[in-house]
Each structure stands twice: as structure tokens, then as C-alpha cells.
């Protein structure tokens, strides 16, 4: 990897580590999750990065893709598993990290951290993604717990989140080998036993697909923002409200844009039998000496 590119990844990762520290400092029962998301996104921007996607704050059986609404009222309750997943973009180079806050000690969180560490330990050029899955799964099995089998880690590329490679959290027979310079995110999701997620009917996060003619002026404005300001990366409904579009206007425009396939929704994902989930994630540059950029 070119040194200039490496430095941008390292900067994105450093900002992520700082944002994590802030989030863990202010998270406590009673805190409104909009306040938490806002604090994290503000710090990312102040530090010279940009949120590569809206901060996801997914609680308990929600696995991913929840981000607070503009008028969010949910507060953290004691004992809840609060998964905070954030992306930091520096000129398109992305650090992706997640962790779980809980006001009490929780074995799922320990297992998520162990699974992530175990996966990181086996990273080297040539290791297959099947072997990665086995290493991630091992400590979880040993603890008598399970993983969410239909969520995976992934590779990253400039302005691209899921570069086409999935890194499973369970062993499989994939022979695809990691290469020197690959940038990957490992993100085990842990539950009391193996589980699965499904889409809910709630969507707060969307993403640009392509330009399409649309009638509403607000839809044209959102399309332009999603392409030029958010660089084709995911954005939140609440960001659009901040741009001065009314909440109703945002809803109508998003519906129109979705109908013509100009944007796509990222619906909230929930565990199918409402099992509680913990998550941990880091972004790593693959090499003989792997670099965990978000640590
Ligand atoms: Mn993430
Ligand atoms: Mn990720």
C-alpha cells in the first residue's frame, strides 16, 4: 500500500479510536441515543474526518442499521446491549469500528471482544476467509455461546464499504485467501446461541444508487446531497432534516427516490427470535504485520 494512502487510513482509524473513547465516556443509563450519535459525529467532523455512515446505535435484539431519528426519544436503559458502530472517512479511506456498551458486565460483550481478537491473531497474507471464520467462532463456542450466522465482516475500498469479500464469523470451506494490502473489517455479532437477523420495516439509513429524473424539488436536492456531499455513502434521514427539508418533505422525497431506484434503503436488522446481541469490530490492513487501524 502506498504510504500516502496508508496515512489516510491511519488517520481515519485514530479518529475512530478517539470517538470510541468519547462514546464510552458519555454512555450511561438515561442518555438519549440521539445525543450520543450527535456527539460522536461532531467529534469525527471536528477531527478532520467525515462520518462514512450515520452512527448506528442498535440496542439489544436490533443488530445493525438503526440510527437515531431527528426527534429521537429512546434513552439507554440499565443492562441494555448498546452496539455503537461508526465509520470514519478520510478522503474516501474508511475506518469501520464497533463496540458494545452496557451499564452492567455482560458475557456476550466479553465473547465479542475475544472473537474479534482471535480473528485478528490469524490475519496474514494467504490465510483463507474460511480459516478466519473458524478462528472467530472458536472462543465463542468454547464459552457455550453463538454467533449471528448471516452477518459477516468485509473488505473495504475507497468510498466502498463492502468491496465484495465477505468474512464469515463461522468456519466455512471458502479457499479465498487474504492478500498483503487488503483492508478488512472483522465484526462478530454474538448471542446466547447461533442466531440470524432479518430486515424490519423501519428504515433510517439510505444510500445513493444512480441519477434518475424526479418531480419533487426536495427529491432532487436529496439526490444531489447523496451523490456529492455524502459521496455515495450511506446517510440518515435526520441529516436531511438538518439540511432544512421538513420531516414530511424528507419522507415523500425518499419514497419517490426509492420508487425510481435512485436510492436504496438499509432497513434495521433484528435477530429473528429477539435474542440479545453484542458486537465488536475493527478495521485491519493485512500484511505480515497486520495493522489494526481503529485500535
Ligand atoms: Mn461497522
Ligand atoms: Mn463493517
pLDDT digits (tens, 9 = 90+) for 25-36: 999 999 999 999
Binned at pLDDT 50, 70 and 90, residue 165 comes out as very high
CB 182 within 8 A of CB 252: no
Is 281 catalytic? The answer is: yes
- The mean pLDDT value for 35-40 works out to 98
Please report, for residues 193, 200, 257, the alpha-carbon distance to residue 279 in angstroms, rounded to integers and kept in the order given.
Answer: 14, 19, 32
- The mean pLDDT value for 124-129 works out to 97
Q: Which of 21, 42, 142, 162 is catalytic?
A: 162
Is 65 catalytic? The answer is: no
Q: Would the pTM of this model clear 0.95, i.e. be above it?
A: yes
Could you tell me which of 213, 184, 207, 190 has the C-alpha nearest to residue 290?
184
> What are the tens digits of pLDDT across the range 46-84?
999 999 999 999 999 999 999 999 999 999 999 999 999
Of the listed ligands, the closest to the CA of 185 is 2
Residue 276, pLDDT score = 98
Please report, for residues 32, 52, 64, 123, 170, the alpha-carbon distance to residue 86 in angstroms, rounded to integers and kept in the order given.
Answer: 17, 8, 11, 22, 23
* Domains contained in the chain, CATH given: 3-199+273-292 (3.90.230.10), 205-265 (1.10.10.10)
> Ligand 1: distance of its center to the CA of 156 in Å?
11
Residue 129, pLDDT score = 96
> What are the tens digits of pLDDT across the range 84-101?
999 999 999 999 999 999
Residue 162 has pLDDT above 90, yes or no: no
Q: Which of 61, 80, 154, 182 is catalytic?
A: 154
> What are the tens digits of pLDDT across the range 215-267?
999 999 999 999 999 999 999 999 999 999 999 999 999 999 999 999 999 99
Please report, for residues 75, 232, 286, the alpha-carbon distance to residue 44 in angstroms, rounded to integers and kept in the order given.
Answer: 22, 18, 25
Is 282 catalytic? The answer is: no
> Ligand 2: distance of its center to the CA of 155 in Å?
8
Q: Which of 61, 137, 281, 282 is catalytic?
A: 281
- CB within 5 A of ion ligand 2: which residues? 96, 185, 187
CB 158 within 8 A of CB 281: no
Q: Which of 41, 131, 187, 271 is catalytic?
A: 187
Q: Which of 96, 137, 204, 271 is catalytic?
A: 96
Is 154 catalytic? The answer is: yes
> Ligand 2: distance of its center to the CA of 165 in Å?
12
> Ligand 1: distance of its center to the CA of 23 in Å?
15
Q: Which of 72, 85, 131, 271 is catalytic?
A: 85
- The mean pLDDT value for 180-204 works out to 98
Amino acid at each position: 500500500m502506498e504510504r500516502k494512502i496508508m496515512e489516510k487510513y491511519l488517520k481515519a482509524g485514530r479518529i475512530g479510536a478517539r470517538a470510541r473513547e468519547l462514546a464510552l465516556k458519555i454512555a450511561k443509563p438515561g442518555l438519549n441515543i440521539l445525543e450520543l450519535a450527535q456527539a460522536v459525529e461532531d467529534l469525527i467532523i471536528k477531527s478532520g474526518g467525515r462520518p462514512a455512515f450515520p452512527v448506528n446505535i442498535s440496542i439489544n435484539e436490533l443488530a445493525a442499521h438503526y440510527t437515531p431519528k431527528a426527534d429521537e426519544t429512546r434513552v439507554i436503559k440499565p443492562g441494555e446491549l448498546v452496539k455503537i458502530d461508526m465509520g470514519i472517512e478520510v478522503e474516501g479511506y474508511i475506518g469501520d469500528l464497533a463496540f458494545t456498551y452496557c451499564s452492567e458486565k455482560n458475557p456476550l460483550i466479553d465473547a465479542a471482544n475475544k472473537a474479534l481478537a482471535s480473528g485478528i491473531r490469524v490475519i496474514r497474507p494467504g490465510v483463507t476467509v474460511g480459516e478466519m471464520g473458524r478462528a472467530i467462532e472458536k472462543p465463542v463456542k468454547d464459552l457455550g455461546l453463538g454467533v449471528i450466522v448471516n452477518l459477516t465482516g468485509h473488505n473495504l475500498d475507497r468510498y466502498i464499504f463492502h468491496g465484495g469479500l465477505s468474512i464469515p464469523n463461522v468456519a466455512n470451506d471458502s479457499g479465498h485467501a487474504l492478500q498483503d494490502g487488503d483492508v478488512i473489517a472483522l465484526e462478530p455479532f454474538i448471542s446466547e446461541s447461533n442466531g440470524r437477523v432479518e430486515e424490519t420495516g423501519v428504515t433510517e439509513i439510505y444510500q445513493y444508487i444512480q441519477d434518475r429524473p424526479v418531480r419533487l424539488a426536495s427529491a432532487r436536492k436529496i439526490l444531489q446531497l447523496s451523490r456529492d456531499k455524502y459521496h455515495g455513502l450511506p446517510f440518515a434521514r435526520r441529516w436531511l432534516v438538518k439540511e432544512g427539508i421538513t420531516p414530511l418533505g424528507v419522507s415523500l422525497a425518499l419514497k419517490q427516490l426509492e420508487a425510481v431506484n435512485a436510492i436504496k434503503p438499509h432497513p434495521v436488522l433484528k435477530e429473528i427470535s429477539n435474542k440479545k446481541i453484542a458486537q465488536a469490530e475493527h478495521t485491519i490492513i493485512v500484511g505480515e504485520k497486520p495493522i489494526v487501524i481503529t485500535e
